[in-house]
Structure 1
Amino acid sequence: MNILILDWRDPKNPRSGGAEVITFKYAKHWARTGHSVCWICNTFPGCSRNEMLSGVKFIRVSPNLGFTVFELIFTYPLFLSAAILKAFRLIHTQKIDMVIDEIHGLPFFTPFYSRARNVLLVCEVAGPIWDKMFPFPISLIGKFLEKVIYYVYHNTETWAISQNTKKDIFDLNKNSNIKILPLGIDFKKRPNVKKFSFPSAVFLGRLVKMKGVESAIAAAADIAKKLPKFHLYIIGLAGNEYLDFLKNLAFDLKISKNVTFCGRLTEEAKYKLLAQCHFLLHPSYKEGFGLTVLEAGLMGTPTIARTGSSLDNLITHAHNGLIFTNNQNISNLFINYYSRQQYQKLQKGATKLATRYLWNKILTKL
């Protein structure tokens, strides 16, 4: 079978996230099992326009998407047009059997030009993300367009990555043809390191407003008032303007010495830090699934996550992680659990949860 994937990023893009990890895992699996897989995505500085990775052919089209909201407003329509044109040519010159149209705010509108088996892949329905990421009235326009977009796809086969995402899709278009795509993580042996001797937490993800990194920094300030040696490690990339804002926020809260911005780490360094910290702080306002929760759990590190973000479907409060309802709860939960006997229960629960979602168990069932 010839499979075409349309996505705004690919796993080598510096701003790729969990969605690209998931898609690439399936793409590699399909390639290994004899299918031809091509992936159209956006360029990024220093990339190759055409590249073969693990049996998957990548075709990257420009222009590079910007970091800021206003850069995205101007560059995204140009990228989308170029990607659709490239996809149209491939679909009509080669025998493409299945097109996976991955939506992140905007899809690739495959029902209008593809007669192949079209699949809409949804990691999350944006919903409140529009308000967090875009100013008014763009946020209002985005939420309206999202409803229209899902109506366009109401007869299209749809894959959702979680039960919550499936419900969000159904609420928008009443599509009954929605399948939940099983997700997983690769097994990683826990490095031979101990938890830090001081209270610690880590934030892991793209540094954008909807991921709630500002809430993590505010919580760090509250925790440091009672635990002065507390340290927060922030793993992830941001645009220069937003990164400066976050650093200034830490400075204004008088916790610059308590916060380390790590940038993007190697996998080895990332897992080592996950193993050393006491908690993963995950204050994201909206998540499709929550791979970082599982990655941390595999390292024996439980998560403190926001209720309503979809992660409360993954985490059972006080069993394999903690759920907070407002930002003040983050510091209270951390202080109440990090050095007590219940913490070991959370560790064991988080590890047990993670081992249920290993790729080698999931892919063998497909």
Structure 2
Amino acid sequence: MPQHVPSSLRTASSRGAGPHPAGSPSPRRIVFLAHRDLGNPAAGGSELLVDRLADGLTGLGHQVTLLCGGPAAYGAFRDYRVVSAGGQTAHYLRARSAFARQVGDCDLLVEVCNGMPYLAPLWHHGPTLCLVNHVHTELWRMRLRGPLAPAAHVGRRLEQWALSGAQRRNLLVAVSPSTADALHALGVDPARVRLVPNGVEEPGPRADRSAEPLFLAMGRLVEYKRIDLLLRLWERVRPVTGGRLVIVGDGPEGPRLRRLAGPGVEFTGHVSEAEKHRLLCEAWLLLHPSAVEGWGLVVTEAAARGTPAVGFDVPGVRDSVEDGVTGLLAHGESSFAAAWCTLALSTHRRELMGKAAEGRAAGFRWARTVRQFEAVAAEAVRGHGPGAGTPGGRGS
């Protein structure tokens, strides 16, 4: 079923679409404060989103800087400026001094909060906007276990306070209704949340679908993506469907997952954009067993090539997959395996879902995402200052 979106979020998400509105703000200096940049070997969907926003805003005349943790990829292939604030962990502590030293000032600071916050509102007194891909509530426990369990508790509490407390006077951008719901559950006023879904590139010329069953999983090989679960299910599915399971991506889980892999499994590591496009076109299904997502960008990338997805009914994935229309959502491991086999064995149903997925993906383009974000950025600037009340002109 399609995800219900509160009226306040629907209104916010429609702002900025279409031509640049008359009387819109002049180009301003915008700084993104984020964990990584797109050139980082560990980059994922969050980094791609920030890159597309920064590049798109630059194209609209804004002066954009990305202040991030290292290693940062400097190069002429980007039109916006990239500045490193230090090491992967240390930059959280150095963000304030790096901002003062290497940026100096801006008209809007966008804090990208993906778990560990920068607490920018405590040290930056100009307009601030918080961009949230997904709330890490359960991920803290998944990533920090055993002796590190106390740190998981601290991280969870810090994230909650940062989003509901430190950002209490600012607008927050959520990339999906699931993320907006999670923010509300943490105590964030829904009136301060704006929905700006991820976009996708125009896919270009289509490669032919594979003649033999080809199932694709794509993303960072990290624990919460649950590729190990997929490998277990493959042992049950393969005797029914045959074919290949291709896993694209790198990450810390890679060596362990390769040891777990049985017959018919291929690991490609990182691939080029051209190879990624080819695989998304050739695949019969995208398999996305992640425990949580902000949006599940690869689901929309696959959909743009007419490839339906099978995932779990979890935050983010339930937003990017329209259950029963553009793919199937499972409620357990056996349900996932059954959905996988069902679509693999039914060419007609798979093709109908692929066409529906392609049609839905056409409504998500990066140009629209950038326009929506630009409108929220302008609202954040207008709402800042003495007597402004709650951002967006609503009373506090």
TM range (shorter): 0.7 to 0.9
Q: Distance in 1 between matches of 2:256 and 2:197?
A: 37
Query: Partner residue of 1:122?
Result: 132
**Runs of at least 5 residues in structure 2 that lack an aligned partner in the other structure:** 1-27, 376-396
Q: Evaluate the alpha carbon distance shift between residue 361 and residue 82 of structure 1 in structure 2; reply closer, same or farther with a 3 A threshold.
A: closer
Structure 2 SS opposite 1:191:
coil
Structure 2 SS opposite 1:119:
strand
Residue 316 of structure 1 deviates from its aligned partner by: 2.1
Identify which of 78, 83, 91 aligns with 1:59: 83
TM-score by length of 2: 0.81
Residue 198 of structure 1 deviates from its aligned partner by: 2.5
Q: Distance in 1 between matches of 2:36 and 2:141?
A: 22
**What one-letter code is carried by the residue in structure 2 that aligns with 1:97?**
D
Instruction: Establish whether residue 304 from structure 1 lines up as the match of residue 319 from structure 2.
Output: no
Deviations 1:308-353 (A, max 9, x none): 2322133222211110111222221111122312111111111111
Residue 51 of structure 1 deviates from its aligned partner by: 4.3
TM-score by length of 1: 0.88
Matches within 5 A, 1:160-199: 160-175=174-189, 176-195=191-210, 197-199=211-213
Query: Partner residue of 2:227?
Result: 213
Q: Where has structure 1 moved over 6 Å in runs of 4 or more?
A: none
Query: Partner residue of 1:106?
Result: 116
Query: Partner residue of 2:291?
Result: 285
**Runs of at least 5 residues in structure 1 that lack an aligned partner in the other structure:** 66-75
Query: Partner residue of 1:70?
Result: none
Query: Partner residue of 1:14?
Result: 41
Is contact 1:51–1:57 with CA below 8 Å preserved after alignment? Answer: no
Is contact 1:280–1:304 with CA below 8 Å preserved after alignment? Answer: yes
Residue 189 of structure 1 deviates from its aligned partner by: 1.7
Is contact 1:211–1:283 with CA below 8 Å preserved after alignment? Answer: yes
Query: Partner residue of 1:71?
Result: none
Q: Report the RMSD for the aligned CA atoms in angstroms.
A: 1.8
**What one-letter code is carried by the residue in structure 1 that aligns with 2:172?**
T
Q: Distance in 1 between matches of 2:246 and 2:140?
A: 27
Q: Distance in 2 between matches of 1:114 and 1:321?
A: 43
Query: Partner residue of 2:332?
Result: 326
Residue 284 of structure 1 deviates from its aligned partner by: 0.8
Instruction: Establish whether residue 138 from structure 1 lines up as the match of residue 151 from structure 2.
Output: yes
Residue 53 of structure 1 deviates from its aligned partner by: 4.3
Structure 2 SS opposite 1:173:
coil
Residue 211 of structure 1 deviates from its aligned partner by: 1.2
Deviations 1:153-181 (A, max 9, x none): 12222111111111111221332311112
Identify which of 107, 110, 130 aligns with 1:97: 107
Deviations 1:4-62 (A, max 9, x none): 11001111112111111111111112212221111111223xx55x5454320001233
Query: Partner residue of 2:258?
Result: 247
**What one-letter code is carried by the residue in structure 2 that aligns with 1:155?**
R
Q: Which has the higher contact order (CA 8 A, sep 6+)?
A: 2
Residue 137 of structure 1 deviates from its aligned partner by: 2.8
Query: Partner residue of 2:385?
Result: none
Query: Partner residue of 1:204?
Result: 218
Q: Evaluate the alpha carbon distance shift between residue 164 and residue 100 of structure 1 in structure 2; reply closer, same or farther with a 3 A threshold.
A: same
Q: Distance in 2 between matches of 1:43 and 1:364?
A: 29
Query: Partner residue of 2:18?
Result: none
Identify which of 347, 353, 360 aligns with 2:360: 353
Query: Partner residue of 2:246?
Result: 233
Structure 1 SS opposite 2:229:
helix
Is contact 2:122–2:166 with CA below 8 Å preserved after alignment? Answer: no
Instruction: Establish whether residue 23 from structure 1 lines up as the match of residue 50 from structure 2.
Output: yes
Is contact 1:160–1:179 with CA below 8 Å preserved after alignment? Answer: yes
**What one-letter code is carried by the residue in structure 2 that aligns with 1:184?**
G
Deviations 1:220-248 (A, max 9, x none): 11111323x33111111112xx2221112
Q: Evaluate the alpha carbon distance shift between residue 51 and residue 115 of structure 1 in structure 2; reply closer, same or farther with a 3 A threshold.
A: farther
Query: Partner residue of 2:382?
Result: none
**What one-letter code is carried by the residue in structure 2 that aligns with 1:174?**
V
Deviations 1:183-230 (A, max 9, x none): 2111012433222x3222111111101112112211211111323x33
Structure 1 SS opposite 2:318:
helix
Query: Partner residue of 2:95?
Result: 83
Q: Distance in 2 between matches of 1:245 and 1:320?
A: 32
Is contact 2:202–2:365 with CA below 8 Å preserved after alignment? Answer: yes
Residue 362 of structure 1 deviates from its aligned partner by: 4.7
* Equivalences, count: 340
